[in-house]
Structures are given as C-alpha cells and as structure tokens.
Chain A
Amino acid sequence: MESKNNMENVFSKLGDLKQFFVFGQKIVPVIQKIIDFMSDVVPLLENVNNSIQDSTSKIPKASTQINSVTSANEIATSEILDIIDAMFLDLSTIRTGLEELKNEENSEKIKVLNEVVSKIENDSSRITISLQVQDITAQQLASVNHLIDSVQNKLSSLLFELGKQQDRPIPTFDPASVSEQDSDYAFSDGTFNENARYDRSTEKQDLVDTLVLENTKTSQEEIDKLFAK
C-alpha cells in the first residue's frame, strides 16, 4: 500500500515536472525576444552615452566662444567710443575755427555750418547711447553661459554615473584652455541680469519715477513691511 502511494507521488511530481517543461517551452521564445531586444538596445544606449560624452566635451568650447563674442564686442565698442571722442574734439576745433572766420558777410553761412556741427554732435551722442547695447547683450550672453554651465554640470554628473559603471574617463573642463581675456567674462551668479533688454521705450523709467515718487511719500517702515510679506 505504501509502495503504491509512493509511486503515485512520483507520478504526481513527474506531472509537475512535465508541466514545468511545457511552460518552459512556451516561455523560451519570450526570453529569446527579450534577449534580442536587449542586443538591439545596448548599442543604442552606447550611442546615446557617446553623444552625451561628445556634447559635454564641446560645452566648454561653446562657453569660451560666447565669452570671446562678449570680449570682441567690448573691444569694438571701445574703438567706436574712441572714434566718437576724436570726432567731438574735431568738431570743437571746427566750431572754434568757424567763430574765428565769422564776419558780417558770412555770418549766415557760419550759422548754418554751426548748426551742422551741432547736428553731428547730437548724432554722435545718440550713437553713444545706442552703444549701451553692448553692456545689455553682455549680460544676456552671460545668462546663456550660466545656463550652459548648468547643463554641463548635469551632463557631467550623468556621465560620472555611467563612467563609474563602464570605467570610462569623464570629460572635464580645463580652465587653462580659456584665454586670460575671455576669462574676464566668466560671469558668476549675480554679475548679470538675465532680464536685461535693450528697450528704448520710457516704460521702465516711468515705473522707476512713479516708485521713487511713492517712496518719498511712503515711510521706510511701509517698504520694509512690503518686503516682509
């Protein structure tokens, strides 16, 4: 009787084993598909990794180029200001000369020429005002550089994680690759205004004037309260 029970047990186990093999036969193609998928995906991930590494290594160059643009703009603006200064000196000489030449006969002509000199002086002043765009674009470029720095830091930390797993070198930024002139424009937080705009309308100055006027009427205590909110 005991032997019969044992045999039934063995047959039951064999049945389980058979079911396991039947299930195995069904699951093997699925596992095969997963393996095929992994084989396809791994090279893709490898490509992504290489692209990130490549982009990260190029970012310092982009940053340096932006600094070079700022530097070149400042040099060019300075040269224009030199020319305008020289023009003002020349115009002053012309004005003095015209005054010396002035007599009863040519006074009308001299007046016209003086008006031309004044117009050139005014136009030169307007050019000087427009050159303030250099400072404004410098701040906008610094803001872009700041963003690039943030992206590089994120990518570097991502690569660090990937590199730890694959024992790869992490591309790093070499400060020595930045020229001394360009490094003058390596802006840090707070040295630029990301909202800087070249806007010749009087809207912002009008707002200032209103707030300054209100401020003269408002006590310091009230302003402090406003900031405390």
Chain B
Amino acid sequence: MTPKKFLVVDDSTTMRRIVANSLKAIGYNDFVEAGDGREALTKLDSDTAINFIITDWNMPEVSGLELVRSIRSNDKYGKLPILMVTTRGLKEDILEALQAKVNNYVVKPFTPQILREKIDQILASI
C-alpha cells in the first residue's frame, strides 16, 4: 500500500506543522489537517483520498482515542492505518491505544526518522 493522503490530527498548530514538515522531509507531501477528533471525522467523511491517519491523543471535543474507536467502528474507513503520536508514554496508555487498535505508536518528542520507521512498519504489515 502507498499512502496517497495523510490526515494529521492534533489540537496544537505547532505539532501539526512539525508532523507535516516531518512528512515532507521523508517524502510525503499530500496531507490535510484537523484540530480535533470531531473535525477529523468530518474530513474522513468528505475526503475519500485520505488513506493514512496520524493522530494525537489529548485533544478537546473528541480525543484521539475516541477518534480511533470511531474510525474502527466505521464500515467506510474502519480499516485505515492509524499511527498515534502522543506525549503519553505510560505502559497502560500504550496498551489502551493498542487495545483500541492503533497500528503503531510514537511518543513525543519524535524525529522524522522515527516517523518514517513507524509508517514503513505499518505499510509493511497491512
């Protein structure tokens, strides 16, 4: 699978820019952004080109974890790969995210190399 379009979900504009810049640095130039889970779901409903999701956990309205659960229960885009990028690095957090069926997990602060590694691992596994 080749990622056509990324959806970058984070309430921090700084982090959205950093993720976007990192994606550009590793050769992915097509992405859209959302400031929280609710906005992300709206974008997923309207933009069928999105085929890879990178989401933060702690966000207002709909959190990253709630977003993952909503996506996984959706017939239309339930199988899209999801990479969670978050400050939460406790074991129970990681297990909770895995239980919600994220494909992989990155703890902030991250480097573009880590991002590339996790994206590649996800792509290789689906």
Are chains A and B native binding partners rather than an unrelated pairing? yes
- Please list the residues of chain A having a beta carbon within 8 angstroms of any beta carbon in chain B: 74, 77-78, 81, 85, 125, 128-136, 138-139, 187-188, 190-193, 195-200, 204-205, 207-208, 211-212, 215-216, 220, 223-224, 226-227
Of the four ranges (under 10, 10 to 19, 20 to 34, 35 or more), the interface on chain B belongs to: 35 or more
Query: Given A193-B87, A223-B99, does the pair A211, B106 have CB atoms closer than 8 Å?
Result: no
B4 adjacent to chain A (CB < 8 Å):
no
B89 within 8 A of A: yes
**Interface of chain A: mostly helix, strand, loop or mixed:** helix
Does B79 reach chain A (CB closer than 8 Å)? no
- Report the separation of the CA atoms of residues A220 and B101 in the bound assembly, to the nearest whole angstrom: 9
Query: Counting chain B CB atoms within 10 Å of each CB, which of A131, A192, A215, A224 scores highest?
Result: A215
Would B89 and A207 count as touching, CB distance under 8 A?
Answer: yes
Determine if B95 and A131 form an interchain contact, defined as CB atoms under 8 angstroms apart: no
Q: Which residues of B contact A197 (CB under 8 A)?
A: 87, 89
- 7 A-B pairs closest in CB distance: A204-B89, A196-B87, A132-B109, A204-B107, A135-B12, A77-B14, A215-B98
Q: Are A212 and B15 closer than 8 Å at their CB atoms? A: no
Question: Which residues of chain B are within 8 angstroms of A187 by Cβ–Cβ distance?
Answer: 60
A227 CA to B98 CA, complexed, in Å: 12
Interface set, chain B 83-126, CB cutoff 8 A to A: 86-91, 94-96, 98-99, 104-112, 114, 125
Are A193 and B99 closer than 8 Å at their CB atoms? no
Asked if B105 and A208 make an inter-chain contact with CB atoms under 8 angstroms apart, the answer reads yes
B73 neighbours in A (Cβ, 8 Å): none
- Which of A81, A188, A190 contacts B17, CB < 8 Å? A81
A17 shortest CB reach to chain B, Å: 76
